[in-house]
Structure 1
Amino acid sequence: MSLKNPISSEPLTKTVEIGSFHFESDQVIDGVELAYERVGPVDAPVVVVCHALTGNQWAVGDKDSPGWWAGLVGPGAPLDTEKYQVITFNVLGGCHGSTGPISINPETNEPYRLDFPKVSIRDMVRSQYKALQELGITHLHAVTGASLGGMQVYEWGLLYPEFMDRLFILASTPHLSDYGIAFNHIGARAIMDDPHYKEGNYSSNEELRGFEIARMAGMVTYRSHKLFDKRFERGQQTQSQYNVQSYLNYQGEKIKERFDANSYLYLLEAMNNHDIGRGRNGWQEAATRYKAPIYTLSFEHDLLYPDDFMRHFSEKVPNGRHKHVSTDFGHDGFLVEFEKWGEWIRENLD
């Protein structure tokens, strides 16, 4: 499928069929689709944006529902959709239109649920590469993403080293730390041990209190203690509930409305297994194989993806540049304060 939309600053969201797909697990399923957002001039250089754990394809969104990176991507923004064509895919295994655990298995006419093949970061990238081929795109100006999205960018540069001119990796490391795996484990156990989970056969997210707890645990790692203290200041809504507790309760409820628990578990496992050194003699050897220049961006107080590891990686690659952002937002720094680091993206993108 190719798109012939005119120059536009408004996003166009569709799905592209990539046919059968062979997973790293050696399983094959047919009729795979990826949902995507496509914004900007169709004849402009293409930038692929990769989303984070609970993200989706709506990086730009629209006026009524701005996307999760609307401050960084758009007309006149650092990633300028008047100069670049920006494509964001919902990942394989996701739950916003791409084939995943909630998709219907044609052999059973029921959702795949846990019968869906295990998904790796490399599977996500290979599926997106196939989707770009279906869209008639043969080269990329850049690939960028943060967190789980950054993991995909690492693999883009190794799986298809000559396919892009630049790589931008934000808040992500060559492999996930044991600390990150530990928090993912807490979240996964909270979901799977919920009696309403029923080994993946739950009837509704709404039943899953364990999913709420998983999200709360994640939220604590995404921002710094300094930001929590500044924002909540030990304020109380009632005598028995602090404002920070109310905030976490709200985030737990909200995730159930917009994300599937099985997809969440699949993506957590993909993050745990992310390691650019797997099958490549370790991450330091893998780092020497990149062809495209790599721009890495770390954020102060990021508990999950520390500056020193990202900086060390940047020093190992043939052509790397690194920037560290001073912020109280921690890991979530990649979603805010674009005025602090957006121009660095623009300069190196252009």
Structure 2
Amino acid sequence: MSTARTAESSPSAARGVPRTPGGLGLVRTSQAVLFTPEAPLELERGAVLAPVEVAYETYGTLDATASNVVVVPHALTGDAHAAGHHGDPARRGWWDVLIGPGRPIDTDRWFVVASNLLGGCRGTTGPSSPDPATGRPYGLDFPALTIGDLVRVQRALLRHLGVRRIHAVVGGSLGGMQALEWVLQAPEDVDRVVVIAASARLSAQSIALSTAAREAILRDPDFQGGRYHGTGRRPDAGLAAARMIGHVTYVSEEALERKFDRARRAPGGALPASGAEWLAPDFEVEHYLHHQAATFLDRFDPLSYLYLTRVMDHFDPFRDPARLAAAAAAGAHATVVSFDSDWRFGPPHSDRIARELAAAGVGVVRRSLTSPWGHDSFLLALPDYLAVVAAALEP
């Protein structure tokens, strides 16, 4: 998903979409321990977890009422580093196009909180973290999670930071699922949510694609039943294959045609005669996917990929009508955004979210945008999209 880390795939510069100039400067990631053995995190499926450490970044200044807060939960493979840089201005956070002075999420106005989600591998407790009972990484002993659990940890972080009320939660893809969960789980705490390129119920096709990606990891001999940490062997081949499968779903056919068409690395070259050479990457799109996989291995853990994709499979936030009624009673408001070329979580998914919320009496603004870039459009500096996000934050 390139020079800057992004939540799903490669950044706007790689697609010919210019970034907004300026932005935040040097930022740092902080850590907080939010749950302890004496007061553990109680998970939806019955397990308890402690301690829970969370990596997070904040941008802007918390105002005197501690209520000018915008929360930005990240997508599947993101982290707490949403904006600014960590020393190299060319390597910027995954949502830098949206967050910063004068940008749609204006840090001269809003206090922005971005955290690495529970189950991740970028500073927040997850399956690769040490199990206090054994001193070894949890592996598959890490408990099953829900999106509700992810949001409960974010809420605890906001309390830790002294936040009294949240102006908005803004998220794309898995981040959008968390934004939707926020307004259903804690409607009394948040004024509005912006749900972008997300789903409230994965289709059979999406579950099938995630299953194929997980199986690539699980069937890699180096997975070792999830006990690969410290062995010198990691299921990198499986994770690379999973990344390629996932990445193809984040981009549209038109995007790949525009960027690569059927270009070959050696135009006009004769096809190799041997099978091994013939099967090696030849088309530029193949080299692109191999590059995406290689860079992904440097920053993500296979266990987190397994857990977080499974979390998405089971998300079904409208199964409890009482939560919808509570959101409506609290005066909740949602902006629901989709992109026409997104075939993973396209307009029908957003239509359903908007329809369910509106039927329950929640205020809804529905925006369907045109973009050739597919699901990854939510990461890009598209003018209409930036304007929609900025407008959604207005009181």
Instruction: Give the TM-score taking structure 2 as reference length.
Output: 0.82
Q: CA deviation at 1:337?
A: 3.2
Q: CA deviation at 1:196?
A: 1.0
Equivalence for 2:263: 235
* Contact 1:93-1:266 at 8 Å conserved across structures: yes
1:293 matched to 2:309: no
1:94 matched to 2:120: yes
Distance 1:288 1:84, change over 3 A: closer
Equivalence for 2:215: 189
2:143 to 117, 123, 142: 117
Matches of 2:294 and 2:165, distance apart in 1: 41
Equivalence for 2:274: none
Equivalence for 2:275: none
Q: Pairwise CA RMSD of aligned residues? A: 2.0
Equivalence for 1:345: 389
Q: Secondary structure at the match of 2:291?
A: helix
Q: CA deviation at 1:118?
A: 1.0
Within-5 A mapping of 1:252-331: 252-278=293-319, 280-281=320-321, 291-316=331-356, 317=358, 318-331=362-375
2:60 to 40, 56, 78: 40
Q: Which amino acid in structure 2 is aligned with residue 33 of structure 1?
A: E
Q: Which amino acid in structure 1 is aligned with residue 84 of structure 2?
A: G
Q: Secondary structure at the match of 2:167?
A: strand
Matches of 1:93 and 1:246, distance apart in 2: 30
* Contact 2:222-2:233 at 8 Å conserved across structures: no
Q: CA deviation at 1:281?
A: 4.9
Q: CA deviation at 1:312?
A: 3.6
Q: CA deviation at 1:303?
A: 1.3
Q: CA deviation at 1:77?
A: 0.6
Instruction: Kindly tell me the number of residue pairs found equivalent between the two proteins.
Output: 342
Q: Which amino acid in structure 1 is aligned with residue 172 of structure 2?
A: A
Structure 1 window deviating more from structure 2 (306-315 vs 219-228): it is: 306-315
> Residues 142-178 of structure 1, C-alpha deviation per residue, up to 9 Å, x if partnerless?
0010111011011100110111111000000212121
Equivalence for 1:215: 243
* Contact 2:338-2:346 at 8 Å conserved across structures: yes
Distance 1:286 1:134, change over 3 A: closer
> Residues 19-77 of structure 1, C-alpha deviation per residue, up to 9 Å, x if partnerless?
12111121112111111010101227110001000011111031242101101111111
1:159 to 185, 190, 196: 185
Matches of 1:191 and 1:154, distance apart in 2: 29
Equivalence for 1:3: none
Q: Secondary structure at the match of 1:277?
A: helix
Matches of 2:98 and 2:198, distance apart in 1: 18
1:85 matched to 2:85: no
Equivalence for 1:15: 31
Q: Secondary structure at the match of 1:18?
A: strand
Equivalence for 1:51: 74
The percentage of aligned residue pairs carrying the same residue is 37
In structure 1, the gaps of 5 or more residues are: 1-7
Matches of 1:271 and 1:101, distance apart in 2: 16
Matches of 1:281 and 1:314, distance apart in 2: 15
* Contact 1:9-1:81 at 8 Å conserved across structures: no
Equivalence for 1:4: none
Matches of 2:329 and 2:305, distance apart in 1: 31
Q: CA deviation at 1:286?
A: 8.9
Distance 1:341 1:254, change over 3 A: same
> Residues 245-266 of structure 1, C-alpha deviation per residue, up to 9 Å, x if partnerless?
1111111111111000000100
2:206 to 172, 180, 194: 180
Q: CA deviation at 1:10?
A: 4.5
Q: CA deviation at 1:340?
A: 2.5
> Residues 284-342 of structure 1, C-alpha deviation per residue, up to 9 Å, x if partnerless?
88986773110011011211212123124323422100111111111001011332211
Q: Which amino acid in structure 2 is aligned with residue 141 of structure 1?
A: H
Q: Which amino acid in structure 2 is aligned with residue 183 of structure 1?
A: L
Q: CA deviation at 1:9?
A: 6.0
Q: Secondary structure at the match of 1:189?
A: helix
* Contact 2:196-2:336 at 8 Å conserved across structures: yes
Q: Which amino acid in structure 1 is aligned with residue 213 of structure 2?
A: G
In structure 2, the gaps of 5 or more residues are: 1-23, 272-277
Distance 1:136 1:283, change over 3 A: closer
Q: CA deviation at 1:276?
A: 0.5
Distance 1:176 1:129, change over 3 A: same
Q: Which amino acid in structure 2 is aligned with residue 40 of structure 1?
A: G
Determine which structure has the larger strand proportion and give its number: 1
Q: Which amino acid in structure 2 is aligned with residue 236 of structure 1?
A: R
